[in-house]
Homo-oligomer: A and B are copies of this chain.
């Protein structure tokens, strides 16, 4: 599975690199950028463009959004969904995975937007379910502070339940008749309200959209946390995973496959992709030039910002611990410090962040070297594909398409024939276009179980 990792913004994850000569990232607000990108991705054999998103500014680092703004770190940004119709119009089988948060917007409107996209793309959309981690996002949507982590996941689970009812349970497959002789467009006996009444949502229905090719879009999720793994086991079809050390991804894959089975699903009902940092060139000299250039433009502060590090590690003595630095700044009791390596020396911590652009799955080399590394990952980490990090638009994608894809094809790692099936689900799983009957969403088909709560979400 080849995904291209993107975001409707100037600086997605390779901070500072928008400054490179010839980089098209500052064209992100221009339709032509996305049309060119989608055309290239489809011609190059990619399965999807995976669109990240955030709903706020990164304002934890140094207590303000100043550095995020100055360096263009995921701000300014625009809505990702609105890119898809234009990209769909110039492609035939490229899929689109779009990020949408379950924490702040009503499920009814979202359900119709995704059905609309599934119609307009002929079943080529996926939804990356997120719960939003930026405190500023909460404040943009009427809250005074973040919803606690696990509660966000409980809301997500109910949000999914609501949209499954709309997508799967509200309209039968044969509800739309479209008979111009009798004048019956829809058979009303095959459409129903969902009357969802839960802890977080009340939604009457019926769904406004008629059944789209996939009904429920392919469910993507990125996770590592315990509650996230449980949510994935109930819902996810594609997991965006990662890890800092060898074996991390494989352990995550195993944990989610086990969670699938606890939820009556097959281990193989979920595919796994990792973010892949690939720098490829025809020669070692070309690779070295790119590496040097990418390093030169990389912003270290950008990483601090994106990781929401509440302090500047470079302002502290290198040999005190992260915990001591936080205490000196009076921050230790104020923040969710759970994600920070509290006992690591500050100097070492800064260096590890500095190298964060060089992710665990990082390879720089000629096509053979790159594909060896991909092959090793597929085998050793049990993954199904990659989510390609971009250092330069469109250099990264073009290089990959011209140099890596042919070698992947030669080794049979990417199909040379067009996959069967028109929809994203069929392309990924060889079955579909609807979710398999063992998925939680399927319980609502034909209007069944609309008033019977799903098995409790335990975590």
Contacts and interface: CB of A to CB of B under 8 A. Distances in A.
Interface of A: 8, 10-11, 16, 18-21, 26, 29-31, 35, 54-57, 64-67, 69-72, 75-79, 81-86, 88-90, 104-106, 108-109, 112-113, 115-117, 119-121, 136, 139-144, 171, 176, 178, 180-181, 183-188, 191, 201-206, 208-210, 212, 299
A133 to B, nearest CB: 15
Nearest to A100: B109
Contacts of A201: 142
17 contacts: A18-B185, A55-B208, A65-B206, A66-B188, A69-B188, A70-B183, A71-B184, A72-B186, A78-B115, A82-B113, A82-B116, A83-B120, A86-B86, A108-B140, A140-B205, A142-B202, A142-B203
A42 to B, nearest CB: 15
Nearest to A212: B29
A109 B117 contact: no
A208 B77 contact: yes
A79 B120 CA distance: 11
Given A18-B180, A140-B203, A142-B201, 5 more contacts: A8-B116, A69-B187, A78-B112, A82-B82, A139-B202
B191 A78 contact: no
A65 B185 CA distance: 13
Contacts of A171: 76
Q: How many copies of this chain are found per oligomer?
A: 2
Given A69-B191, A185-B18, A105 B109 contact: yes
A299 B206 contact: no
Contact of A70 (B19, B139, B187): B187
B79 A112 contact: yes
Contact of A79 (B78, B113, B206): B113
A359 to B, nearest CB: 22
B31 A209 contact: no
Contacts of A209: 76-78
A208 B69 CA distance: 10
Nearest to A77: B208
Question: Which of A20, A30, A181, A205 has most chain B Cβ within 10 Å?
Answer: A205
A71 B30 contact: no
A170 to B, nearest CB: 10
B69 A183 contact: no
Contacts of A90: 89
